[in-house]
Structure 1
Amino acid sequence: MANASSYYSSNSTATSGINFLPSLGLEFSGSGIATPSPKFYELNRVSAGLQKYYLIVLAVIGVPGNALTVATILSMHTLSPATFFVVLLAVFDGCALIVKLLGNQLGQHELMGHPFFCKIMDPLSIFFSTTANWILVLICLERFISVCYPLKKAYLFTKRRSYICAAVLIGFLFTLIMTILVVTRTYEERQCKVEKSSLWFHINVWLNLNLALYIFLPFVLIALLTTFIIRGLRKSRKHRMSLVGKEDGNSQEMRVLKDCSQDGARVPRKSRSLSTPVTPTSIHNQRLLEDTARVERMITLMLIAAGMIFLLLSLPMALFYLIDPFNRLNVDKMTVSAARWTLFQMVAFLLLDSSHAINFFLYFLTAKRFRVQLLRIILGRAACWGRRLAGREQEAASNGNRPRKARGSKGGGSHSTTSTCLNSSGSRGSTVYLPSGWD
């Protein structure tokens, strides 16, 4: 997690803005304080254990999950603005976990004052984490326009504009974060410190800006956009139900008219030549429209789930930073309440950092198409490897039972197994992967 320990050390000239290892309340002056109770040390041990191991667990889970998300989405060959942002989010989530874990391990080995950590690792941690949250904001904005203003989506969110928005966002955050942290920090006496000339800016501007960019602004925007998306989905559902009701009423009226016409004069049948012809092209276009609608519903469901989970996981950290300024009088005391507050801080870090690791599982649970495509990749690769092994064994057995052919006179039969292996999108015909229908 980024952004917390710098908040605690902001009143010192040795402030580093370090974001990997938040203060555990283990170094106190203890002036006027009696020997802490065993409960205090027990709570601090729990906090220290969480600090030491939780990023390892999240990286082991999240990095492969984000890699599978990228592979699955790209294998669909339907890269839209929404899927592009999903891939970008997975990339930055994975990078954030990797950089955080490296920084955590540097801190465990007391290398947090190293120039590499001071000038590169810590700023990159803030950059990747902040950018991932803002990409989720862009995803919610794209879904909001798709649901509430579907006729304007094709104009507002083209692929080219999506690429430009992502490039501008990444470039702006990278320039802002890296410039501020590289300029305001210095490496002195084997410690990462803030320049004395920049101390006021660091305490009064950067720390607040950092919190706003990383937590508060994304939290508020995602909450608003998710609320509008859910409201728009409800309105569209009511509108669709009303249209279905009108169609049912019209069909019933047509049946009544048909019964009346059978009792009276015979109504001449409409010439078949006047009706709209049904061609293979129209059927294909209809299927494309239906498939596009299913993809849109899948993406909307996936990203609503991702937005809601982000709000739930970031809420404890937002509450922590809202309450913490009023709790500063007790934070430096070796009391049980201070240890509990530190433990709450660590749990908040764990929850917020886990938002970089669980999106893959949300997609897998909420989107059937994502599950099917992932199974295609896994089963296709497994079948490909199995066929290659079987082909090599068959080739070895056949070579042992017949005379060796002259060099260059091989037939193509021994290589036929590899040519039929599935690619990630399942484009070659095979009986290994699941049926092509998504529903």
Structure 2
Amino acid sequence: MDMTDATPITMVTDHENFTVHTNVTTLIYPAEYYKLNALITFLNTYYIWIIFAFGFPGNTLSLFVIFRMSKTGLTTSLFYVAVLSSVDNITIILKIIENQTRQMKMSIDETGCQFLFFFGLTCAASANWTLIVISAERFTAVALPFKVALVWSLKRAVVIIVGVVVFLCFIHSHIFITVTHYEHYTCTVKERFHKYLMIWFFISASVFAFIPAGFLIVLNALTVLIMRRSTTRRQIMTSAYGHVHRAARRQERHITVMLVALAIGFLVLNIPRCVYVIAYNYICASDEDVMCSTRRGFVNILTTQIADSNHAINFYLYFMTGRKFRAHSLKLFQCRRATFLSSGPSQLSELPFTESS
């Protein structure tokens, strides 16, 4: 049932010597309406804490493992993973702060709203764009294996990350003009800018999800395609040069599995949000349709929370798909020294993503 039922109820009031009959129209909504609102309230109130419980410890452990692995030399791959883990944790903390202001448990003024929105959106998008950079580096390593060390030096890696952050800061800089704080409504957009809401909504969604998703699909598809086409050549090299090339082949496959796992994780969690943003204006024929608006609100909250989960899963993807990362993590749990500290530079051949430095 998509429409509300208007049911007239007769109320009888007895005042000593006379009786007054009053007809009152009460709106009775379907049971689905109350269930959806209960789910919306639950997701808005508690789901960020679930993300925090899984994501913050995982990202922190990633930083510890990367620190141990980088003692014999910091590579671009380790640098990118460290940036990704750090940005994911910052994003989770900012989302918790935003959640608590929305729940009226934390007071905030207009300046606080502006900084919270600015850094929250910038950090969330930075995590996704870091995945683009990692994918681009891996594509270069497969397509131009003899030039990757020149193209992706550690110094250039730092410059690229800084450039990405500056670009995203510019995209979100309008927040310092458009966002304010209203009593009872926490952080929101100033009324005079409401006519630009849909434009900014699509720009933000494009920067956060559409562009990263497009790049990840194309870069990873090309990477896998190039690797498959070069299988025969690698087999010839392996038979000619022995176990050295077999080890390189295993390493290349290992790195690709981790990268593809990260890309798939991002796409699975963010594509629902992309679909919602595209379909937003076509879901309900009219905002007066209460049930349709309620369903749309539920889908909005659900896809947002699913996309936010991407900031909590990377450590577990590293752990499941990366043999060396898993080995170092287990040694960290056991409070034992990692074996690469005593075995020398040869252990650098199996790092999370690429070997350029």
TM-score tier after normalising by the smaller chain length = 0.7 to 0.9
Of residues 92, 96, 99 in structure 1, which corresponds to 2:94? 99
Query: What residue identity is the alignment partner of 2:218?
Result: L
Query: Matches of residues 178-189 of structure 1 in structure 2 within 5 Å?
Result: 179-187=173-181
**What is the alpha-carbon distance in structure 2 between the residues aligned to residue 235 and residue 357 of structure 1?**
34
SS across alignment from 2:334: helix
**What residue number does 1:80 align with?**
75
**What residue number does 2:53 align with?**
60
Name the stretch that deviates more: 77-86 or 135-144.
Answer: 77-86
Query: Matches of residues 25-424 of structure 1 in structure 2 within 5 Å?
Result: 34-77=27-70, 78-109=73-104, 114-177=109-172, 179-187=173-181, 192=187, 194-195=189-190, 198-200=193-195, 202-203=196-197, 205-243=199-237, 296-335=252-291, 337-380=292-335, 422=337
Note the alpha carbon deviations across 1:194-239, whole angstroms, 9 max, x for none. Answer: 4566454x32542221111011111111111111111122122233
Note the alpha carbon deviations across 1:162-205, whole angstroms, 9 max, x for none. Answer: 1110111112212432x2101223446676454566454x3254
- The alpha-carbon distance between structure 1 residues 62 and 425, as it changes in their structure 2 partners (threshold 3 A), is farther
Query: What residue identity is the alignment partner of 1:307?
Result: A
**What is the alpha-carbon distance in structure 2 between the residues aligned to residue 107 and residue 72 of structure 1?**
35
- The alpha-carbon distance between structure 1 residues 190 and 316, as it changes in their structure 2 partners (threshold 3 A), is closer
**What residue number does 2:18 align with?**
none
Give the Å deviation of 1:117: 4.0
Give the Å deviation of 1:346: 2.4
**What is the alpha-carbon distance in structure 1 between the residues aligned to residue 119 and residue 103 of structure 2?**
18
**What is the alpha-carbon distance in structure 1 between the residues aligned to residue 131 and residue 98 of structure 2?**
24
**What is the alpha-carbon distance in structure 2 between the residues aligned to residue 88 and residue 363 of structure 1?**
15
**What is the alpha-carbon distance in structure 2 between the residues aligned to residue 189 and residue 66 of structure 1?**
35
Query: Does structure 2 retain, via aligned residues, the 8 Å contact 1:147–1:229?
Result: yes
**What is the alpha-carbon distance in structure 1 between the residues aligned to residue 339 and residue 221 of structure 2?**
35
**What residue number does 1:281 align with?**
none
**What is the alpha-carbon distance in structure 1 between the residues aligned to residue 246 and residue 236 of structure 2?**
20
Give the Å deviation of 1:123: 1.8
**What residue number does 2:341 align with?**
427
Query: Does structure 2 retain, via aligned residues, the 8 Å contact 1:146–1:153?
Result: yes
Note the alpha carbon deviations across 1:222-267, whole angstroms, 9 max, x for none. Answer: 111111111122122233235557x59xxxxxxxxxxxxxxxxxxx
**What is the alpha-carbon distance in structure 2 between the residues aligned to residue 161 and residue 232 of structure 1?**
25
Query: Does structure 2 retain, via aligned residues, the 8 Å contact 1:313–1:355?
Result: yes
SS across alignment from 1:150: coil
Give the Å deviation of 1:81: 1.4
Gapped runs of 5+ residues in structure 2? Answer: 1-24, 351-357
Identical counterparts, % of pairs: 25
Q: TM-score, normalised by structure 1?
A: 0.65
- The alpha-carbon distance between structure 1 residues 70 and 113, as it changes in their structure 2 partners (threshold 3 A), is closer
Query: What residue identity is the alignment partner of 1:339?
Result: T
- The alpha-carbon distance between structure 1 residues 292 and 241, as it changes in their structure 2 partners (threshold 3 A), is closer
SS across alignment from 1:50: helix
- The alpha-carbon distance between structure 1 residues 436 and 229, as it changes in their structure 2 partners (threshold 3 A), is closer
**What is the alpha-carbon distance in structure 2 between the residues aligned to residue 116 and residue 299 of structure 1?**
43
Gapped runs of 5+ residues in structure 1? Answer: 1-31, 249-285, 382-421, 430-434
Query: What residue identity is the alignment partner of 2:329?
Result: L
**What is the alpha-carbon distance in structure 2 between the residues aligned to residue 156 and residue 297 of structure 1?**
21
Query: Does structure 2 retain, via aligned residues, the 8 Å contact 1:131–1:170?
Result: yes
**What is the alpha-carbon distance in structure 2 between the residues aligned to residue 167 and residue 231 of structure 1?**
30
Structure 1 stretches of 4+ moved >6 Å: 289-293, 435-438
Give the Å deviation of 1:332: 4.7
Give the Å deviation of 1:100: 0.4
Query: What residue identity is the alignment partner of 2:130?
Result: I
- The alpha-carbon distance between structure 1 residues 290 and 83, as it changes in their structure 2 partners (threshold 3 A), is farther
**What is the alpha-carbon distance in structure 1 between the residues aligned to residue 105 and residue 331 of structure 2?**
45
**What is the alpha-carbon distance in structure 1 between the residues aligned to residue 209 and residue 55 of structure 2?**
20
**What is the alpha-carbon distance in structure 1 between the residues aligned to residue 306 and residue 183 of structure 2?**
35
Query: What residue identity is the alignment partner of 2:326?
Result: R
Give the Å deviation of 1:339: 3.1
- The alpha-carbon distance between structure 1 residues 157 and 33, as it changes in their structure 2 partners (threshold 3 A), is farther
**What is the alpha-carbon distance in structure 2 between the residues aligned to residue 211 and residue 68 of structure 1?**
30
Whose Rg is larger?
A: 1
Query: Does structure 1 retain, via aligned residues, the 8 Å contact 2:251–2:349?
Result: no
Residue correspondences, number: 320
Give the Å deviation of 1:300: 2.6
**What is the alpha-carbon distance in structure 2 between the residues aligned to residue 131 and residue 331 of structure 1?**
34
**What is the alpha-carbon distance in structure 2 between the residues aligned to residue 181 and residue 203 of structure 1?**
12
CA RMSD of aligned residues (A): 3.2
